[in-house]
Homo-oligomer: A and B are copies of this chain.
Amino acid sequence: MLTVALPKGALLIDSIKLLQAVGLDFSAFLDSGSRLLQIQDPTGIAKALLVRAQDVPVYVEYGQAQLGIVGYDVLREKTSQVAHLADLRFGKCRMSVAVRDSSPYRSSLELPPHGRVASKFIHCAREHFNNLDLPVEIIPLYGSVELGPITGMSEAIVDLVSTGRTLKENGLIEIDILFESTARLIAHPLSYRLNTYELRHWVEQLQALTLSAV
């Protein structure tokens, strides 16, 4: 059966709406109190796995899901072997460098060499500073990255910014944008090539919807 990996969190509602538009209903995941990790579409055509955003490319790479929806930020950070099929245009945000408002730094290159940068996205952060030839120490954190500069542990952070409210509330400002991110449709490359479970039919429908929304 066609299996779609869906990300918990910010992208879930729009992902479910998009799939409903092509006739696949996974809205049961939105019932409050539901602890289900996998459900079947009422028509019995497909099922969906509800997983952490970072795990979506894993399930797709290993072929446990033929399709997945996940933010471009996750794809950049994990560099999984999956086929990128469509920019779904929702879930807009950006990967940015931010510092304390009161700091003297106003671009990545002004940061002190051998300074510290806290991030949940250590691969993206390292790549950014390597490209600038600026040696910095990346401090891997799992949450509340804004505490890095607040406590003085790091000069800067690399983090995902959508409205900018969290930065503002914590006295931080963005000084550089690494890239813009949106939700992406990804597929297991082999399943896509072999058209397993009529995969191409579903992908074409989703691509058509996405293009028409431009």
Chain A contact residues, CB within 8 Å of chain B: 3, 8, 37-38, 49-52, 54-55, 58-59, 62, 64, 139-144, 146-147, 150-153
Contact = CB atoms under 8 A, between A and B. Distances in A.
Contacts of A141: 51-52, 55, 58
A158 B109 CA distance: 42
A62 B59 CA distance: 35
A59 B153 contact: yes
A143 B51 contact: yes
A140 B54 CA distance: 10
Q: Which of A50, A51, A151, A152 has the most CB of B within 10 A?
A: A151
Contacts of A3: 151
Contacts of A38: 147, 150-151
B143 A52 contact: yes
Contacts of A139: 58, 62
A52 B140 CA distance: 12
Given A37-B147, A38-B150, 19 more contacts: A3-B151, A8-B143, A37-B144, A37-B150, A50-B144, A51-B143, A51-B144, A52-B141, A55-B141, A55-B143, A58-B139, A58-B140, A58-B141, A58-B153, A59-B151, A62-B139, A64-B151, A64-B152, A64-B153
